[in-house]
Structure 1
Amino acid sequence: MIRHLLAFCALLATPVAAQTEHIVTGASPPARITVCAGDTLVLRKPIGRELLPDGSRAPGWLGWNDRSRLGSAGNWFETVGATKLRLVGILHGKGWVYVPVDARPCAAPVAPATAVGPAAPANHTAHVEPLFGANLSGAEASGGDTIRPSLEDWKGYIERHGFKLIRYPFKDDRMTSARIAELKANVAYARSKGVPVILDNHTYRWDAPAKAIAFWTGFARNFPDDGSVILDLVNEPRGFDDPVLTNDWMQWARDSKIIIAGLRANGIKHPIALEWPQWSATFRFDKKEGAWKACESAGCALDRDTSGPLDPLNRTYLNGHRYFDKGSSGTSKDCDVKTSGFVEFAEQLRRRGLKAYITESAFASHYGIKPSCAAVGTEALAALRANSDVLLGVTWWGGGRVWPESYIFKIDPPKAARFTAPTSSYVEQLTGR
């Protein structure tokens, strides 16, 4: 123990750039702690069996564990920048002190980049404001896409209303050369404003992997892969083109990995947003199936499929939907729940080391908010902010001039005044103001 204390004192005496003492203990410690060489982590109780003699973490453990909360399993946390830890001593009044073994020195601050364009979603870190965005509908409309969003509509949502993320639903069989050229121009405009775009194949059709790989390989090459364009492979997949039962969850997990690996092998580096059957509902993501039961949820299938990583580039995000009416159907303007469930969904993501976007949700319209929805809308916004380490952004449903005035989730003001009407209080909420 004297040796450990001496080593610890020597460590404190060593001048290390940006050396930081991370106090891990607490009721709500950070889920991810970025560490540099020379940093220390202080825990009230020692790390247990997950710490192997060589400093690495034992397979199967969710992360390092702060066991300070008596009578509980503790709090899991991840060290970003290091995979190995070493105990260097016990500091009176503070606790057990660990140092990262394989961390690099902190880099000196760099000047902001001058290139125009948004940062890649993979660089999103904890406690950053989530991206508040909107769906711009029209290109996926039944019967045709003549009322698809124009460049002026894109400008209205980004410059006038202040949305920081756009989801563009479309149908793949409409993507002619002319449509692609138009979309490229609109995406380039959004990129010039630092606004990422999610391209959503809004067909509800889960294709066989070879077909999905072929479409997205050709289509994605029209757009930058710097993080400004995210590929939403298919909206709310309802059925499979493979000769197995619909909603076979293990098949969904296998197919997803095959499609993602195929795109990466073809040089497609764009971030990917992955949806799942059962309407991509966030409250159905993890049904907590016992080991003796077949999977009935996406979370279970991802846990059990051991065929390899979800994404070799680690640039795939889950893509959830959540409405607040009865059954989360998105067909009623009355809300039937007290909370959004985003906090629980975030916890399920953290346990698996995953992140997500919420790409469909709504709780009112330009014309006002029902009393039954006011509280859950406020809670949803707070939950997104509080869990922005794993919930990277949201695109609210109901944008685009395709929607009639009577639509319950209509974001736009009346069509004749869509460029002149004051921003509604609802839109101010949706944009995080």
Structure 2
Amino acid sequence: MLTIAAAAMLPWNAGPADAAGPCFRGINLSGGEFGNPDGAIFKDYAYPSEVTIGYFKQKGMNIVRLPFLWERLQPELGQALNDAELQRIKDTVALFRKHKMSVILDPHNYAQYRKTQVGTPPATTLAFADFWTRLSSEFANQDDVIFGLMNEPHDIASDKWLSAANAAFRGIRAVGANNLILVPGTKWTGAHSWQSDGPGGPNGTVMLGVKDPRKNYAFEVHQYFDSDFSGTHDECSGNENARNAIVGMSDWARKNGTKVLLGEFGVSQAPECIAGLKAVLDAIHDNSDVWLGWTYWVAGDWWPESEPLNVQPHEGHERKQIAVLEAAAKAPSPAEDACRTMGR
């Protein structure tokens, strides 16, 4: 087995000579999910500025995962979306489009609404489907807009989550929205735990029950490099485990004829962590027949320089992770138009 240290020294074209990398290479531009749901724009939360968007576009990135709060966009379950918040999201999408970047809409709620788990009244499966029916109708058939059903469901049984996900699919497709949809699993949708048992069964078994009449979806997984895979520590003792998780997900997706996207992953600026980052990106590149792409966590105008995983530049100083991300982002890739409808 190739070690992390050895993999980090390989060039980006170390795979087959004619192999292109994954379609999407990008960044989480965080800030829209900050604060409590009733917070004020530019005081408690903010969406990315055009300066920040332009910086990551210049680094070769072609997609942004955009976190926001479900409660802020839909203050009352089953009722209309908030016009002002929806317009802020639409304006941000327009900025991405101006810079020729796709976007993943990411309700960053952990399968909860005001701390009530999806599938539990009043945050019923029907309420979750209603939310996605309303949101998808606003962005229906905009090929550069991808629907990420939910950020990191946790403490919810996998079969219960599958039921909610399938209800959202029905709502989205019922309004004629054929956009690519990203489906997470439970247990924080960890790649390393994808095939591990848990309440409701393993993600790797249960989530194969996704029902999409358009067959235009992929699975979103997250993977961090620290000891507990949480991304909350600046060490990367889990480098080898992270790479193995990517290889394992590749094998699972290939076996089951589906696609995956790495929605969150990140490391500190420590040299060994930078090496681990490159090894994971190499593994995705070498398995790009099943990987749609990746979005690194994290950046955004309000992220402090003290955050170890942050790659937002500060006062003209770039983070050390960005060189590896830029090299991966600028590697050869397929045509993006073909990527937006290749979920399965």
**SS of aligned partner of 2:187:** coil
Task: Summarize deviations over 1:262-281 as a string: whole Å, max 9, x none.
Answer: 32123222211111211110
- 1:195 and 2:104 are equivalent in the alignment: no
Q: Distance in 2 between matches of 1:254 and 1:182?
A: 30
- 1:344 and 2:266 are equivalent in the alignment: no
1:334 is matched with 235
2:225 is matched with 324
TM-score by length of 1: 0.61
* Unmatched segments (≥5 aa) in structure 2: 1-14, 74-81, 113-117, 331-344
Say whether the 8 Å CA contact 2:159–2:201 is kept in structure 1. no
**SS of aligned partner of 1:327:** coil
Q: Distance in 1 between matches of 2:51 and 2:149?
A: 24
Q: Distance in 2 between matches of 1:169 and 1:311?
A: 24
* Unmatched segments (≥5 aa) in structure 1: 1-27, 30-125, 240-245
- 1:133 and 2:26 are equivalent in the alignment: yes
1:163 to 61, 78, 101: 61
2:161 to 246, 252, 267: 252
Q: Taking CA–CA contacts closer than 8 Å with sequence separation of 6 or more, which of the two structures ends up with the larger relative contact order?
A: 2
2:88 to 160, 165, 182: 182
What value does the CA root-mean-square deviation take over the aligned residues? 2.4
**SS of aligned partner of 2:219:** strand
1:391 to 291, 305, 312: 291
Task: Summarize deviations over 1:325-380 as a string: whole Å, max 9, x none.
Answer: 0110111111012432211111111111111111110012xxxx213313311211
Q: Distance in 1 between matches of 2:132 and 2:163?
A: 18
Please give the residue correspondences for 1:230-309 in structure 2 after superposition, counting only pairs within 5 Å.
Answer: 230-239=146-155, 246-247=156-157, 249-287=158-196, 296-303=201-208, 305=209
- 1:361 and 2:265 are equivalent in the alignment: yes
- How far off its partner does 1:186 sit? 2.1
Number of aligned residue pairs: 286
Distance 1:311 1:169, change over 3 A: same
Please give the residue correspondences for 1:67-216 in structure 2 after superposition, counting only pairs within 5 Å.
Answer: 127-143=20-36, 144=39, 145-146=41-42, 147-175=45-73, 176-204=82-110, 205=112, 206=118, 207-216=123-132
Identity of counterpart residues, as a percentage?
28
- How far off its partner does 1:158 sit? 3.9
**SS of aligned partner of 1:133:** strand
Distance 1:154 1:174, change over 3 A: farther
Q: Distance in 2 between matches of 1:155 and 1:227?
A: 19
Distance 1:314 1:142, change over 3 A: same
The one-letter amino acid paired with 1:301 is: V
